Chains A and B, each alone.
Chain A
Amino acid sequence: MLGLALDLLIAALVIGVALWTVRTRDDFAAIVGFVAYGLLLTLAWARLAAYDVALTEAAIGGGVTGVILLRASIRLKPVATARKPIGARILVGLLCAAISAALAAVVLLPMTPAPSLAIEVRTHLASTGLGNPIAGVLMAYRALDTFLETVVVLLALFGVWSLTPDAAWGGRPAMAVPAAAFGPLPLFGRLLIPVGIVIGVYIVWVGADAPGGKFQGATILAAMWILAMMAGLTQAPSIGRWRLRLLLAAGPIVFLAIGLAGIPLAGAFLAYPEALAKPLILLIEVALTLSIAATLGLLVAGPPDVTPGVEP
């Protein structure tokens, strides 16, 4: 009963904030609305006991997407956007309503209890040495998906870089902040970043047996790196540097190498020899954490705009 009240409140707020965010015309206001939406979504996932998802939403929605949108809004020049014609808006609204209604019908109508793989996932978990079934799905049963998703993230970064002006290729992204106005920021960064790194590492570590994991932890680490850049404590690196490229590629390379080694050693691509499963998976997770953190940080930093060699 009490739980239901909480759920209803969260659901109403999620929908309300979403509607308002879609409708608002001011870009800054929409971004603030989107951050609020992310916070509420975190609560919703937490109430659904999807703790891994809630953690991801907290890390991504609460931290990184807001900053990406903000940096985009700074780059945009204010333009007067014409409202779409009323007919088009009604049509889109009707389409969305129809899809929602159909989804609601499928989800709510009484069906035979949906089959689930949850039991099978747990049965085989022991052979991977992991305690968190989500980690089992990500690193063992569907490791191919996870591997390819890391390539997708890398490609997304490369897509951002592809927007670099030709002259700035190989240079570094600028994170210009009017430093004079920000007395407390460097101090805040120096104090918070070590704490954040500890928390990020903890979230990665705990992921093997409890909700958490490389992606969430990497997001926290990336946020700390971005904070260091925003506070002027460090600069974004030049994208032409070989060591940076190696750091970005390290996760997929380690994953791929261990996956290929599985063909002779364990009989299949991305299979782990039983005795070594847990250490190998941990090795992959550590490499992926570093690569994903670096990738996310650079995604936020954006395409390079400082020509290489122009300044020291």
Chain B
Amino acid sequence: MTAALMATTPGGLLLVLAVVVPVIGILALWLVRARDIEWVAIATLAVNLFLSLATLQAVRASDAPLVYLVGGWLPPLGLALRVDGIAAVLMAMTGAIVAVTALYARGQFGFDPQGPERRRPMVFWTMLLAITGALNLIFAGEDLFNLYVALELLTFAAVPLVSLDGSRDTLEAALRYLVFALAGSVLYLLGVAVIYGAYGTLDLVVLSEIRGAEGALLLAIALMTAGLIAKTALFPLHLWLPPAHAGAPAAASAILSALVVKGSFFLILRLWFDLLPPGLGTIGANGLGLLGAGAVIVGSVLALRQARLKLLVAYSTVAQIGYLFLIFPLATGSEAASPFASLAWTGGVLQLLAHAFAKAAMFMAAGLVYEAIGHDRIDGFRGLGRLAPITVLTMTLAGLSLMGLPPSGGFSAKWLMLSASLGEGAWWWAVVILAGGLLAAGYVFRILMPAFSTPDAPAERLHPVALTRELAALSLAVIAILIGFLPLSPWPLLAIGRLIQVSP
């Protein structure tokens, strides 16, 4: 597709609505009565889920990306929104996880329908809507500065969730997160400036046609990738993630770990597979793969050593993010004509999906465990299986996917990545994937073994938990398993509308 031929497609308005509806929700939250904020937020997220599913359906049906020219101006002068196959899949994933999280979070944070407005529910719902809108824009954005605005929105919405509890520790974690995220923003913005200076445009479609192998492009992509890595918490820039994700309330942790880090990761994918001329990125791609491998090993080992469930789950995020970065060496090294048609590419996207659902389920379950027994120390989990069977089932299913045991989304993802690495003769990545799986099995069993054992004394449940909340967490874990039933072959949906790479 050439930029000159770009025009708003039927259904393009869905993209505008996906960005605008969460914003309308935020503005409404501020103006409605205190008792109405919950249902306003949930209604907004329901509409958002509908919009994201409609977008996915429209992309599948038309077998082409959806495009909307904002203000009717053609890029590069104006801004366009564009959703291709992979973006549509991720939008639908976000819509689903956010909607289920909303059900889980209903009535939490001291929300009192009769009383005055409270700080924590108000902040939570506002920021949840903001994260939804920001992620939709990250998936739909096509202009690098527009995407920067989306990143800012995402950061400013995510940081307050970390310190929602207001304790000293969470404030410190939030501040550290903010510093990492802002440093990342600065690097990204520098890259944007370099690209505008060199090419006079920031539109990805236009850029993919005119860019060559100039130093400016390489420098810009290096700067932006470094910034985005800091936001994604790739090893060794992962230091901010465990305290931030473990200190937030469970519903917020689920969103932060499952979705927020994926936003910046998705932009790295865009840069490397849409913008970088093919053949140039081999060294860099191997470097990213190496960092990913480091994350898999270090994150898993640290997860094994945690005494508290939430910290363990947070370190597991560090490890699982590592797998995502194996896409870069595997997909660029693949022999298929287009990297998007390769096994590795599909494997990477499946890993992203499976981890998002499994991790959200895991954090929600961790929150439920805390409510059931009043703490989340793993050595005190004996008898948990009798006390909270649904929650332990949730952890088991999500754990299966994190370990990569069949049948689960995690298994399919790792299987495809293994096949890709063996097919390319890059056996060392296969070693990393297998070792990571074994370590994950170690930390998942550390949780499950005591949970399934019989307690010395009959344990008592501290607080009753609404069944809907347990089912919300379970449903996400079930989806993580169901993803494993997708066919184990490249997924044509993901290749829809990808910018075709032509050597300049």
The interface bits of chain B over 383-400 (1 if a CB of A lies within 8 angstroms of the residue's CB, else 0) are 000000000000000000
List the interface of chain A (C-beta within 8 A of B).
Answer: 99, 102-103, 105-107, 109, 111, 114-117, 120-121, 124, 140-145, 148-149, 151-152, 154-156, 158-159, 161-166, 169-170, 240, 242, 245-246, 248-249, 252-253, 256, 260, 262-263, 266-271
A309 to B414, CA, bound (A): 58
11 A-B residue pairings within 8 Å (CB atoms) = A114-B198, A117-B200, A124-B73, A140-B71, A148-B23, A149-B152, A151-B153, A158-B127, A240-B116, A249-B30, A269-B70
Q: Which residues in B have their C-beta under 8 angstroms from that of A144?
A: 19, 70-71, 79, 146
Partner of B200, one of A99, A116, A161, A166: A116
Asked whether, in the complex, the Cβ of B70 is within 8 Å of the Cβ of A155, the reply is no
Asked whether, in the complex, the Cβ of B219 is within 8 Å of the Cβ of A162, the reply is no
Query: A115-B201, A140-B71 given as contacts; is B27 within 8 A of A252 (CB)?
Result: yes
**The 3 nearest A-B residue pairs measured at CB:** A115-B200, A268-B72, A162-B160
Q: Which residues in B have their C-beta under 8 angstroms from that of A149?
A: 149, 152
Determine if B163 is an interface residue (Cβ-Cβ < 8 Å). Answer: yes
Q: Which residues in B have their C-beta under 8 angstroms from that of A161?
A: 123
Partner of B31, one of A148, A154, A159, A245: A245
Asked whether, in the complex, the Cβ of B126 is within 8 Å of the Cβ of A158, the reply is yes
Q: Which residues in A have their C-beta under 8 angstroms from that of B216?
A: 106, 111
Asked whether, in the complex, the Cβ of A162 is within 8 Å of the Cβ of B24, the reply is no
Q: Which residues in B have their C-beta under 8 angstroms from that of A148?
A: 19, 23, 137, 146, 149-150, 153
Other A-B pairs, 7, CB within 8 Å; known A152-B149, A166-B118: A99-B223, A114-B197, A115-B201, A124-B77, A154-B26, A158-B126, A268-B68
Asked whether, in the complex, the Cβ of A162 is within 8 Å of the Cβ of B163, the reply is yes
A168 to B459, CA, bound (A): 39
Q: Name which of B119, B120, B166 has the most chain A CB atoms within 10 A of its CB.
A: B119
Nearest residue, chain A, Cβ from B119: A169
Q: Which residues in B have their C-beta under 8 angstroms from that of A159?
A: 156, 159-160
Asked whether, in the complex, the Cβ of A106 is within 8 Å of the Cβ of B71, the reply is no
List the interface of chain B (C-beta within 8 A of A).
Answer: 8, 13, 16, 19-20, 23-24, 26-27, 30-31, 68-73, 76-79, 116-120, 122-123, 126-127, 130, 137, 145-146, 149-150, 152-153, 156-157, 159-160, 163-164, 166, 171, 190, 194, 197-201, 214-216, 219, 223
Asked whether, in the complex, the Cβ of A111 is within 8 Å of the Cβ of B163, the reply is no
Asked whether, in the complex, the Cβ of A106 is within 8 Å of the Cβ of B8, the reply is no
A242 to B117, CA, bound (A): 12
Per DSSP, chain A at the interface is helix
Query: A103-B219, A256-B23 given as contacts; is B70 within 8 A of A270 (CB)?
Result: yes
Nearest residue, chain B, Cβ from A304: B119
Asked whether, in the complex, the Cβ of B156 is within 8 Å of the Cβ of A156, the reply is yes
What is the total of A-B residue contacts with beta carbons within 8 Å?
151
Q: Which residues in B have their C-beta under 8 angstroms from that of A106?
A: 194, 197-198, 215-216, 219
Q: Which residues in A have their C-beta under 8 angstroms from that of B13?
A: 263, 269
A266 to B201, CA, bound (A): 25
Q: Which residues in B have their C-beta under 8 angstroms from that of A242?
A: 31
Asked whether, in the complex, the Cβ of A117 is within 8 Å of the Cβ of B201, the reply is yes
A230 to B127, CA, bound (A): 31
Q: Which residues in A have their C-beta under 8 angstroms from that of B78?
A: 141-142
A154 to B126, CA, bound (A): 11
A120 to B77, CA, bound (A): 7
Q: Which residues in A have their C-beta under 8 angstroms from that of B116?
A: 170, 240
Q: Which residues in B have their C-beta under 8 angstroms from that of A268?
A: 8, 68-72
Q: Which residues in A have their C-beta under 8 angstroms from that of B164?
A: 162
Asked whether, in the complex, the Cβ of B23 is within 8 Å of the Cβ of A121, the reply is no
Q: Which residues in A have their C-beta under 8 angstroms from that of B201?
A: 115, 117
Q: Name which of B72, B130, B145, B164 has the most chain A CB atoms within 10 A of its CB.
A: B72
A134 to B216, CA, bound (A): 26
Q: Which residues in B have their C-beta under 8 angstroms from that of A267?
A: 72
Nearest residue, chain B, Cβ from A113: B200
Partner of B24, one of A99, A256, A271: A256
Asked whether, in the complex, the Cβ of B197 is within 8 Å of the Cβ of A163, the reply is no
A149 to B156, CA, bound (A): 11
Asked whether, in the complex, the Cβ of A240 is within 8 Å of the Cβ of B117, the reply is yes
Asked whether, in the complex, the Cβ of A155 is within 8 Å of the Cβ of B156, the reply is yes
A149 to B152, CA, bound (A): 9
Q: Which residues in A have their C-beta under 8 angstroms from that of B200?
A: 114-117
A121 to B76, CA, bound (A): 10
Nearest residue, chain B, Cβ from A245: B30
B212 to chain A, nearest CB (A): 10
Asked whether, in the complex, the Cβ of B146 is within 8 Å of the Cβ of A145, the reply is yes
B1 to chain A, nearest CB (A): 19
Asked whether, in the complex, the Cβ of B153 is within 8 Å of the Cβ of A152, the reply is yes
B112 to chain A, nearest CB (A): 12
A169 to B166, CA, bound (A): 13
Asked whether, in the complex, the Cβ of B145 is within 8 Å of the Cβ of A145, the reply is yes
Asked whether, in the complex, the Cβ of A249 is within 8 Å of the Cβ of B118, the reply is no
Q: Which residues in B have their C-beta under 8 angstroms from that of A116?
A: 200
Q: Name which of A144, A158, A240 has the most chain B CB atoms within 10 A of its CB.
A: A144
Q: Which residues in B have their C-beta under 8 angstroms from that of A164?
A: 119
B249 to chain A, nearest CB (A): 13
